[in-house]
């Protein structure tokens, strides 16, 4: 016999169902994009995320902490190791910050920049394909709801 429902309140049930749906969408898309990046370029979504944050930063440089807090696809866990490996692959360069001797600055290398530009264009196609089932206006409505959701989530805690 299956277990009885633990949650009685309809609003709460609806919220949980929505959350699971949101999570499923995000995971599916993440897996899909991650697999393609790995297959086509041999790099993880985490690295693509890091390259992306650096690319849009002024002078393509960020202090380690700033990079860590901006990472989306990944979390900032073991940022040191991530940068170590990316540096070993020639994607980024780490140098001391002359203004603050506690701090290190990470810069996108020429190699990293060229690689990211190629990856980003194809990544854009893949993302667009993923949303193909939705109309332009549905995309906008969806985004508007998600923005409100995120703002509420962020103002919590």
Q: Which of 63, 93, 126, 130 binds DNA (CB under 7 A)?
A: 63
Q: Identify residues 66-95 at the interface with DNA (CB under 7 A).
A: 66, 68, 71, 73-83, 85, 94
Instruction: Find the angle CA(142)-CA(129)-CA(38) to the nearest 5 degrees.
Output: 115
Q: Residue 110, interface with its own copies (CB under 8 A)?
A: no
Q: Residue 157, interface with its own copies (CB under 8 A)?
A: yes
Stretch binding its own copies (CB under 8 A), from 62-70, 78-86, 90-98, 128-136? 128-136
Q: Nearest approach, Cβ of 8 to DNA (angstroms)?
A: 29
Q: Residue 156, interface with its own copies (CB under 8 A)?
A: yes
Question: DSSP per residue over the chain, as a string?
Answer: -PPPPS---HHHHHHHHHHHHHHHHHHHHHHHHHHHHHHHHS--HHHHHHHHHHHTSGGGEEEHHHHHHH-SSS-STTHHHHHHHHHHTTSEEEEE-TT-TT-EEEEE-HHHHHHHHHHHHHHHHHHHHHTTTS-HHHHHHHHHHHHHHHHHHHH--
Q: Which of 95, 97, 111, 143 binds DNA (CB under 7 A)?
A: 97
**Count of other CB atoms within 10 angstroms of residue 64:** 18
The answer to whether 126 touches 32, Cβ cutoff 8 Å, is yes
Q: Residue 35, interface with DNA (CB under 7 A)?
A: yes
Q: Identify residues 14-43 at the interface with its own copies (CB under 8 A).
A: 14-32
Please give the residue ranges that form the binding site for its own copies (CB under 8 A): 2-3, 6-7, 9, 11-32, 55-56, 58, 60, 72-73, 75, 117, 120-121, 123-125, 127-134, 136, 138-143, 145-154, 156-157
Please give the residue ranges that form the binding site for DNA (CB under 7 A): 31, 34-35, 38, 44, 46-47, 63-66, 68, 71, 73-83, 85, 94, 97, 100-105
């Amino acid at each position: 016999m299956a277990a009885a429902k633990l949650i009685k309140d309809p609003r709460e049930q609806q919220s949980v169902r929505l959350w699971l749906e949101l999570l499923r969408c995000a995971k599916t898309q993440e897996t899909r994009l991650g697999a393609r990046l790995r297959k086509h370029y041999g790099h993880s979504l985490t690295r693509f995320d890091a390259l992306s944050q650096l690319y849009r930063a002024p002078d393509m440089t960020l202090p380690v902490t700033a990079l860590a807090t901006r990472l989306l696809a990944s979390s900032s866990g073991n940022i040191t190791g991530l940068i170590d490996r990316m540096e070993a692959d020639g994607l980024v360069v780490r140098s001391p910050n002359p203004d603050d001797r506690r701090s290190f600055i990470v810069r996108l290398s020429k190699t990293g920049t060229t690689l990211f530009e190629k990856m980003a264009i194809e990544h854009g196609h893949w993302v667009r394909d993923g949303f193909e089932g939705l109309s332009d206006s549905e995309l906008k409505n969806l985004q508007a709801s998600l923005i409100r959701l995120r703002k509420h989530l962020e103002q919590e805690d």
